[in-house]
Structure 1
């Protein structure tokens, strides 16, 4: 697909990875709608577009957990551009603490933004992208935490695993409509994601995690200074979209981790004879997956 003059909506598109994505898509000639929550970040983003002599994006204030507002945003995007071709669900919070100490508020907030926000974007926009019939692309931004769990990141990891599973399945559903679907999993990136805990909404204030000392949090934030430039992440994402890749990995430093996952998974499989009936069912499943990715609609009848 040629991206020139196509339209894209990026959640949390005015800072961090979202703004890197916005710049990359703008450089490719796309017209943009960007959601935001912070007015200063919005003004900084608007200034970049003005300095580049580019069309100003449609800026839309949005809490991605607010389904009613998301529906309004979808209407505003459609009314402004006529149609949308690319949806990038990027908004997320990075909050860490021992999972065994987490409260309901911790689960509700982190899962509500990181997974619920993706769901709200999909439900709001997929019917509209399908309706215009021109095809398009959806990118759900996860994290390397979609593959790599950690002792301080249980809920965050759960949210990203959920986005991964949803995205990989959705790719099969939308292929018949010429709508590509990609999971983008960045590694360490030069953003301010480390201070998400300081922006916790009041309705989720009853955390089970111990408050983090400001100095400790700022020290953690120094790690992000070594991260990849968000624009590079955006450019690699655009390349993955153009190639219609289901999985877009932007950072090369995880080969050891993937090798260990592969070897551990194979070693966990029992070494025993498999009944032919079970083998037949799994062959049907693999064939159905290949057919679906090729754009052929499949159903339950194809699995038995």
Structure 2
């Protein structure tokens, strides 16, 4: 593993769960850190770990990732404290489930606002500093295997992760010509308390169509997370992916069966019929532009027709 002395990383939601695993992995590799938090108790626990390890204390920044003005203040604080940002990890998110056909606007607004909106807010606020830091800097947007795998109780959650996936893949092509890497991290089951998000629903989004939270059922569901991967291991795999500038980082190996099913169903769904030459040419240009973008060339609409 490379050493990253004097490089700076910012991890949203970096004081607990997966975010803290990522923070520890980055600290172990030499990064200086800024970490956002909402729960002051988790902040204290995280600070204790860094002190025990004899590490530089992170710059702790209180942040609601849906608060755009505060995100701008956080960006200014990181710039003022470090003067650079080599790695932005948009990690903060919530895991909230319920029947999609019963969902209200409050359910959509909360889940999409945190899981997708926080990524957008982080990019708008911090991309200028990442760009100023220059070639070799990197962005990781944390999604989930739900970016590929949908489920009957996870419609809005899945939609938010599909959205993060699409955004990240496009952003990678946008920033490649500037020498800035972009990765999508899709972790599977991880040993965190992410399952209890429904207990922390803000009052502004109380009008849920999912019904009252069944605490016993949710706690039983949360017990499955005890079987998950250690967050530190996920963080170490994230770091290896960044070092290799991989666009897609999978931390868990147990999804081959799912991907075979997706591939086979997708191929089978394609109509078996002739395609007009003009359409074939447009798709050829699209594929060529995609390959050129991945190789680091700036692409415009003119390249697609």
Q: Same fold (TM over 0.5)?
A: yes
Secondary structure of 1:128's counterpart equals: helix
Match of 1:256? 257
| Unmatched 5+ stretches in structure 1 | none
Q: Tell me the alpha carbon deviations over residues 127-182 of structure 1, each in whole angstroms, 9 at most, x when there is no partner.
A: 22112324311000000110001010000000000000000000000001111000
1:291–1:2: structure 2 CA closer, same or farther, 3 Å change rule? farther
Partner of 1:48: 49
Q: Are positions 1:11 and 2:12 aligned together?
A: yes
Partner of 2:124: 123
Describe the SS at the equivalent of 2:36.
Answer: strand
In 2, are the aligned partners of 1:99 and 1:154 still within 8 Å (CA)?
A: yes
Inter-partner Cα distance in structure 2 for 1:219 and 1:56:
36
Superposition pairs of residues 208-247 of structure 1, within 5 angstroms:
208-247=209-248
Q: 1:271 maps to what in 2? A: 272
Structure 1 moving runs of 4+ over 2 Å: 1-4, 131-135
- 1:4, 1:294 → 2: CA distance? 28
Shift in Å, 1:54? 0.3
Q: Residues 129 and 135 of structure 1 are in contact (CA less than 8 Å); yes or no, is this contact kept in structure 2? A: no
SS at match of 1:139: strand
The 10-residue stretch of structure 1 (25-34 or 277-286) with the greater mean CA deviation from structure 2: 277-286
> TM (normalized to structure 2)?
0.98
Q: How does 1:165-204 map to 2 (within 5 A)?
A: 165-204=166-205
RMSD: 1.0
- TM-score in terms of structure 1 length: 0.98
Q: What are the Cα deviations for residues 21-71 of structure 1, in whole angstroms up to 9, with x where unaligned?
A: 000000110000000000110011000000000000000000000000000
Structure 2: runs of 5 or more not aligned: none
Q: Which residue of 2 aligns with 1:207?
A: 208
Trace 1:21-36 onto structure 2 (pairs within 5 A): 21-36=22-37
Structure 1 counterpart of 2:287: 286
How far did 1:291 drift? 1.1
Q: CA deviation at 1:2?
A: 5.8
Q: Does 1:149 align with 2:150?
A: yes
